[in-house]
Structure 1
Amino acid sequence: MNSVVNPTDTARTLLRCLDLTSLNDGDTPETIAALCAKAQTAHGPVAAVCVWPRFVAQARAALPAEIRVAAVANFPDGALDVARAVADIESIAQAGAQEIDVVLPYKALLAGQTQEVAEFLAEVRHASRPLTLKVIIESGELKEEAHIRRATQLALSAGADFIKTSTGKTPVSATLEAARAMLDEIAHSGLSAAGFKASGGIRTVVQGQDYVTATAEKLGEAALNPQRLRFGASGLLDDILAVLDGKANTAAQGAY
């Protein structure tokens, strides 16, 4: 990346790579309608809208084809339950989504059930084709770099399209340390199409810039597109638009 970063350029990258997300317990059809309206901004569309499975059909009907619809499976607990995950995936696909964000059974991985986790991921990949599959490794719960790397390796070996940091439902979500380990594994996997998704706790363009930089360093600047980089967030869009509208906080701008 260039040593001097233009916040407007960063905001544009974040916008086109954003999975605008609402996964609150209290979500309603009205919540999702408002989310879909926000996804179509004056500066261009987000990459996708991510919702609970029960809202997929509504979101797909409300959005133009250029904005993809994603939904979560095996979420947020990441149980080692293949039947449940596959049932989630099938209902999501039938409702018209193009992308699935599934939680890797991280507790099982920590308990040493590596083979069982690998088999789970293989079943999930088979059930989800041809949809885009993002595997959430819950890096904040895995904690140790070795566990984060192993989870990333397993997801990539199973054919995941993206490796995602977090559900956003645990005390620790995305961290740069975890992101760098994940990106390093993606870079060394030999899978030129595999991507990375940072999710949970990223609320400003300044924060997002760190992940853009890390991605460019590990995967190259050509990877700064929605085919290989995503951000899962709800509040980030407000700061993106503030930057693009020239209304960003000057203190935040100074962080560049």
Structure 2
Amino acid sequence: MTGDLSEREIAQALIASLDLTDLSDRCTREDVAALCDRAATSEGDVAAICIWPRFVAFARPRLKSGIRIATVVNFPEGGEDVEATLAETRQALADGADEIDLVVSYRRLAADEGFVDDQVRRVKEACGEARLKAILETGELAEPVLIGRAAKAALAGGADFLKTSTGKVAVNATPEAAEILLRAIADHGGAVGFKPAGGIRTYEDAKAYRDLANRLCGDGYATPDRFRLGASAVLADLLAVAGGAARGPGLEGY
């Protein structure tokens, strides 16, 4: 039972669910190499690194075996050129990506929900065995009804995860948006994963999303196969809690 875990064990579980991310505009190969090194921590490996597509082939041989590479497509704008997104997806997979984080065409949702459903379906087909995370940009959708419709469309299209945000807008992951997505996942059978992203800075932030996921989708839901955290700044705090060290201010980052 998750309620029996110590703070240290919860922090370790959160590290194991982390998509350690660098999607900064100035990201370099040196930054990606450092990210690969950080991904194998003293308290266990993270689930994945999440990087720009142009760095996937560079990162693949540098990353410890067992840590996945996630990359982003149609990012961050969420445009409507599905053919271009499919080409981007296929290239990322050929370069060695294990997971694809797709920004859906969320601006299209209000007028044409079917476009998002079809977009997700086609990208999922291109992914084959690779996981597809549908980024809904919930902070931009803002209205609970629209967030719910986005979740429904992505689930209908076959997304393996629902992800809140790109981390590139004013409002990213929030507990309110997370609850809408998790309820949609639970109503869909509870097998699809959930990834809050953007603005997660502390152990308490991360734990709150994990607790919410387990409460709404069932105790034990929040394993790395179904629960991820899109962040970089939170790792330092999680390591401090897991290692019993003094906690400092969070690092700047995604």
With normalisation by structure 1, the TM-score equals 0.93
Secondary structure of the corresponding residue to residue 214 of structure 1? helix
Shift of 1:64: 2.1
CA contact (8 A) 2:119 2:157 kept: no
- Partner residue in 2 for 1:205: 203
Equivalent position amino acid for 2:166 in 1: T
Give matches, 1:5-154, under 5 Å. Answer: 6-110=6-110, 112-154=111-153
CA contact (8 A) 2:113 2:149 kept: no
Q: Does 1:183 align with 2:204?
A: no
Distance 2:74 2:2 in 1: 39
CA contact (8 A) 1:139 1:148 kept: yes
Identity of aligned residues (%): 44
What's the RMSD between the two structures over aligned residues?
1.8
Give matches, 1:150-229, under 5 Å. Answer: 150-190=149-189, 192-229=190-227
CA contact (8 A) 1:99 1:132 kept: yes
Which blocks of at least 5 consecutive residues in structure 1 are unaligned?
A: none
Distance 1:163 1:220 in 2: 17
Shift of 1:5: 7.4
With normalisation by structure 2, the TM-score equals 0.94
Distance 1:10 1:62 in 2: 28
Shift of 1:251: 11
CA distance 1:120–1:46, shift in 2 (3 Å) = same
Distance 1:107 1:251 in 2: 36
**Paired residues, what number?**
250
Which blocks of at least 5 consecutive residues in structure 2 are unaligned?
A: none
Shift of 1:62: 0.7
Distance 1:250 1:135 in 2: 33
Shift of 1:114: 1.3
